[in-house]
Amino acid sequence: MSVDTANARSLFTESEASAIRADFPVLSKPVHGKQLAFLDSAASSQKPQQVIDVLRRYYEEENANIHRGVYYLSQIATQKYEDARETVRSFINAASLKEVIFTAGTTDAINLVASSFGRTFLKEGDEIILSTMEHHANIVPWQLMAEERGVVLREVPITDKGELDLAAYHEMLNEKTRLVSLVYASNSLGTINPVREIIAAAKAREIPVMLDAAQAIVHMPIDVQELDCDFLAFSGHKIYGPTGIGVLYGRETLLNEMKPYRGGGDMIRTVSIEETTFSGLPTKFEAGTPNISGAIGLAAALDYVTTIGMSRIADWENSLLEYGTHRLAEVPGLRMVGTAPQKVGVMSFVLDNVHPHDIGTFLDQEGVAVRTGHHCTQPIMTCYGLPATTRASLGIYNNTADLDALVDGLKYIVKVFS
């Protein structure tokens, strides 16, 4: 799909939307005899043919290990891998290639920061600010570090609508705060957090900020220099790329001071039995053979969305979110969970007297794929007194017909369970 629009902000035409959907082969495959309405992109997106072709070409024509081989295939693979780093740098507008670390995903990137930043800068009694809204991946690594270092974790609460309590956040910032690590956009509520205000308040006290951008990266343009964040993590599989690949953006001055996360090949300068000296950035944090094909596939995915235009994607998904929210209001007994005015394309809900797992099972028979459970956000579920929700989440390939199928399926479920 090629959209020659100079990234003009407008909704896709019907032909553009159809052409984008046609780029994703899996969407043409029927499920239980029904057309697939895939509404689980927040868990993992589908992949366009353009990314699939790049991955296949790599393994068929370019496969080799990178960085030290002097032969043709190794040089090609190395160039493709480092070109992918430049694609990422440009996509998020990092100041330098040294600030782009390839990881296994968002979870791996947050663990890297928790371990490396923690062991470099944190001591007993220091405080880290998280929130009730965090994915488990932005809670558990910090708990492990807190246990190891005697660090105190502080939790920003959320409102009934699913917004951060900013007054509480501002009150938490103090001379003991060493890091703020918050989600940019919630995977289970859809809430887009006011990260510029959050970052500005922290920076006024010279406190670094990390953003979990696993959901945000696919729904809106992100410029790390404009945001002025110190760390930002995201995963390739959320933004139409392969699984097992992700990115940590880190401010160069901080990364230079941080100790390596893992040891092994490619991150060293010299090794003896007595001592090792380490490479500079970014390879200091990329021990061992990396996910070469994953990085190349991620670059292809970023090129794909860049061609269409992130602002246009945001507009399209916002229109679907508005449509879907309106249509879900027609379902008797349905209650939305997460009603913040600023959201990405996530609609979580509960249905009177019907367990989310039953909802998911019934919808699957209608060809509608949604996610059910706690979405790795158990603190949110506890906050709302819920065991689980049903979540419908949007991607670039969705359309109003997908949302109509969702609503029709839910209305059928209401009839069955009544």
CA distance 215 to 189: 11
Write the DSSP symbol of residue 64. -
| Dihedral-angle region of residue 107 (phi above 0 means left; psi in -120 to 50 means alpha; beta otherwise) | alpha
* 226/212 Cα distance (integer angstroms): 16
Can 376 be counted among the known catalytic residues? Answer: yes
Residue tagged 């930002």 (tokens): 232
Contact present, 9 and 312 (Cβ < 8 Å): yes
- Dihedral, CA atoms, 102, 105, 110, 116, nearest 10 degrees? -40
Copy the structure tokens of residue 403.
């949302």
Cis check for the bond before 282: say yes or no (omega within 30 of 0).
yes
**Could you give the 3-state DSSP secondary structure of residue 269?**
strand
**Nearest-angstrom CA–CA distance, 60 and 406:** 40
Q: Which of 43, 376, 381, 414 is catalytic?
A: 376
| Strand ranges in 199-333 using DSSP code E only, listed in sequence order | 209-212, 231-235, 246-250, 268-271, 276-278
DSSP 260: P
Tokens of 16: 């553009």
Q: Which of 155, 153, 156, 165 is nearest to 128 (CA)?
A: 153
CB 296 within 8 A of CB 80: yes
Residues designated as active site: 376
